[in-house]
A and B are shown apart, each in its own frame.
Chain A
Amino acid sequence: MPSDRIVERRRVFQQYKADVKERGKPFYPFAMFHDTVMSLVVVAVITGLAIVWKYSTPGDHIGTDPGWLGKLYDDPADPGTINFVPRPDWYFYFLFYLLRIFKWPNSVIIGTIGLPTVLLVLLLLVPFIDIRSERRLLRRPVAIVASVLVVVSMGVLTYKGATAKESLGSELVAKVPGWAKAANFTANKQAVGGAHLFAVSGCLNCHTYQGTGGGFAGAPNLTAEGAKNKGVQFQIDHLKCPACVNPGSPMPSFAGLGEANLKKLASFLEASKGTK
Chain B
Amino acid sequence: MATRRMTRSEQLQQTIMYPVDWLEERSGLVGGLRYFLFRKVPGDINWFQTLGSATLTAFIVQALTGVILAMYYKPDPNSAYDSIQHITNDVFAGWLVRGMHRWGASVFIILMFMHMGRVFLFGAYKYPRELNWIIGVLLLASGLGEGFTGYLLPWDQTAYWATVVGININGTAPFLGPFLAQFLQGGTYINADTLSRFYAIHMLMIPGAIAALIGLHLYLVIRLGVTSPPWSKEAAGTGPLNGASPNGRATRTGLSRFRRGR
Query: A interface vs B, CB < 8 Å?
Result: 9, 11-28, 30-32, 34-35, 37-39, 41-43, 45-47, 49-51, 53-54, 62, 69, 71-79, 81, 84-92, 95-96, 99, 108-109, 112-113, 120, 123-124, 126-128, 130-137, 140, 143, 147, 167-169, 200-202, 205-206, 214, 216-217, 252-257
Q: A76-B157, A135-B230, A205-B181 are in contact. Are A46 and B107 (CB under 8 A)?
A: yes
Q: Are A49 and B103 in contact (CB under 8 A)?
A: yes
Tell me the interface secondary structure of chain A in the complex. Answer: helix
Interface size class of B (residues with CB under 8 A): 35 or more
Cβ of B157 to closest chain A Cβ, rounded Å = 4
Once the chains are docked, how many angstroms separate the CA of A20 from the CA of B240? 10
Q: Which residues of B contact A81 (CB under 8 A)?
A: 157, 161
Once the chains are docked, how many angstroms separate the CA of A256 from the CA of B192? 9
Residue ID in chain B nearest A31 by CB atoms: B41
Tell me the interface secondary structure of chain B in the complex. Answer: helix
Once the chains are docked, how many angstroms separate the CA of A124 from the CA of B131? 10
Q: Are A27 and B168 in contact (CB under 8 A)?
A: no
1/0 per residue, CB under 8 A from A, across B235-258: the answer is 011111100011000010111011
In the complex, chain B residues 140-193 whose Cβ is within 8 Å of any chain A Cβ: 140-141, 144, 147-148, 151, 154-162, 164-169, 171-174, 177-178, 181-182, 185, 187-191
Q: Are B178 and A217 in contact (CB under 8 A)?
A: yes
Cβ of A171 to closest chain B Cβ, rounded Å = 10
Q: Which residues of A contact B177 (CB under 8 A)?
A: 113, 205, 216
Q: Does B39 contact A (CB under 8 A)?
A: yes
Residue ID in chain A nearest B45 by CB atoms: A31
Q: Are B182 and A120 in contact (CB under 8 A)?
A: no
Cβ of B146 to closest chain A Cβ, rounded Å = 11
Q: Are A202 and B167 in contact (CB under 8 A)?
A: yes
Query: B interface vs A, CB < 8 Å?
Result: 36-43, 45, 47, 49-51, 53-54, 56-58, 61, 77, 81, 84-85, 88-89, 95-96, 98-100, 102-107, 109, 111, 117, 120-130, 133-134, 137, 140-141, 144, 147-148, 151, 154-162, 164-169, 171-174, 177-178, 181-182, 185, 187-191, 225, 227, 230-231, 234, 236-241, 245-246, 251, 253-255, 257-258
Q: Are A90 and B106 in contact (CB under 8 A)?
A: yes
Q: Which residues of B contact A217 (CB under 8 A)?
A: 178
Q: Are A49 and B187 in contact (CB under 8 A)?
A: no
Q: Are A42 and B54 in contact (CB under 8 A)?
A: yes
Once the chains are docked, how many angstroms separate the CA of A9 from the CA of B237? 10
Q: Are A256 and B148 in contact (CB under 8 A)?
A: no
